[in-house]
Amino acid sequence: PYDNEQKRKELLDKFNTIEGIKLTENSLNKRPSFDCKILKSEANYTRFIEIYQEILSEIQRYEAEK
């Protein structure tokens, strides 16, 4: 599902809700990264896991529809 640029933009926006992560639209077609120290904060870690779970759910739905 993330071969669609709009889906990648939505994902980028979600990651940018985590304090300390500032991914740019230039990174949409790349493999952006961030300092893992950002996840030391419980709030940041929790939000990261929520986003990761959303990604997994989206992929599972996509695969089920194939």
Token pair for 15: 């990651």
How buried is 64 (Cβ within 10 angstroms: 0-12 exposed, 13-18 middle, 19+ buried)?
A: exposed
- pLDDT tens string for the chain (66 positions)? 899 999 999 999 999 999 999 999 999 889 999 999 999 999 999 999 999 999 999 999 999 998
Q: Residue 1's pLDDT is what?
A: 87
pTM of the prediction?
0.88
Could you tell me the end-to-end alpha-carbon distance of the chain, in angstroms, rounded to an integer? 11
Please tell me the predicted confidence (pLDDT) of residue 26.
93
Asked if residue 64 lies in contact with residue 6, where contact means CB atoms within 8 angstroms, the answer is: no
